[in-house]
Amino acid sequence: MWAIISILVENKPGILFKVTHLFRSRNFNIESISVGVTADPEFSRMTITTIGDEKQIQQIVKQLDKMIDTVEVQRLDEHKTVYRELILFKIKINKASDSMEINKLANAYGAKIHDVKKDSIMVELTATPDQINTFEELAKPYGIIETARTGVAALQRTGA
């Protein structure tokens, strides 16, 4: 089971270490993590995606909640949540037509093109993890040189 956990923490040094250490020492897994300061600079929001059975995920939430530096821990329902990840792809250009095809693919996914070179092109895509994985499959035949991926950021829809 895949779960998105949103954690509001005190914006103090060392807290990312404590949260990740908790996952390590309790034998949980972090699939992705993203951290950033909130509009109120006293807090940071961490968004962690993890995989486990229902019992494990409930334990993760409880253990995170027990931490003194966490102010609010929420398990987000993916159907009631906007969640996005950003990825940068550097893709190979082997022949002239590749560039056009990648452009088309990027357009279809609402991705942006950066840094067009003779041998490579950089694509920026903001989407759900599933969409990113599909895009990656489609881009693979051209040859993916390297990628950088942020991890999920998520917020629950108002009234959901």
Partner 1 sequence: MENMNGGRALMKALEKEGVKEVFGLPGGANLPMYDELFKSNIRHILARHEQSAAHMADGFGRVSRKPGVCFATSGPGATNLLTGIATAQADSAPMIAVTGQVPVKMIGKDAFQESDIIGMANPCVKYSFQPRDASEIPEVVRKGFYIAATGRPGPVLIDIPKDVQQNEASMTFPEEVKIRGYHPWTDPDIVQIEKAIDMLLAADKPIILAGGGVTISSAFAELQSISELLMIPVVTTFKGKGSFPENHPLSLGPIGMHGHAEANKLMTEADCVLAIGTRFSDRSVGTFEEFEKRLKIIHMDVDPAEIGKNQTTNIAVVGDVQATLRIMVKLLMHKSIKKTEGTTWLKHVKEVKEYWRENLKLPKGEMTAAKILRKLREVLPKESITTTEVGQHQMWASLFFDVIHPGTFFSSTGLGTMGWGFPAAIGAKVAKPDVPVVDIAGDGSFSMTENSLATSVLENIPVIVFLVNNFSLGMVAQWQRTFYDRRMIGVDLKNCPDFVKLAESYGAQGIRAQSLDELEKAIKVGLKSDVTTVIDIPIDPEEDVLPFVAPGTPLKDMILPS
- Report the interface residues with partner 1, using CB under 8 A: 9-10, 14, 17-18, 21-22, 25, 55, 58-59, 62-63, 65-71
In the complex, minimum distance from the CB of residue 10 to partner 1, in angstroms, rounded to a whole number:
7
Tell me whether residue 55 or residue 95 sits nearer to partner 1 (CB atom).
Answer: 55
- Neighbouring residues of 48: CB distance < 8 A, sequence distance ≥ 6: 4, 5, 7, 19, 23, 30, 31, 32, 33
Tell me whether residue 56 or residue 81 sits nearer to partner 1 (CB atom).
Answer: 56
In the complex, minimum distance from the CB of residue 55 to partner 1, in angstroms, rounded to a whole number:
7
Tell me whether residue 26 or residue 140 sits nearer to partner 1 (CB atom).
Answer: 26
Cβ–Cβ < 8 Å for 84, 23: no
Query: 85 — phi, psi (to 5°)?
Result: -130, 150
In the complex, minimum distance from the CB of residue 71 to partner 1, in angstroms, rounded to a whole number:
5
What's the rounded Cα separation, in Å, for the pair 48 and 31?
7
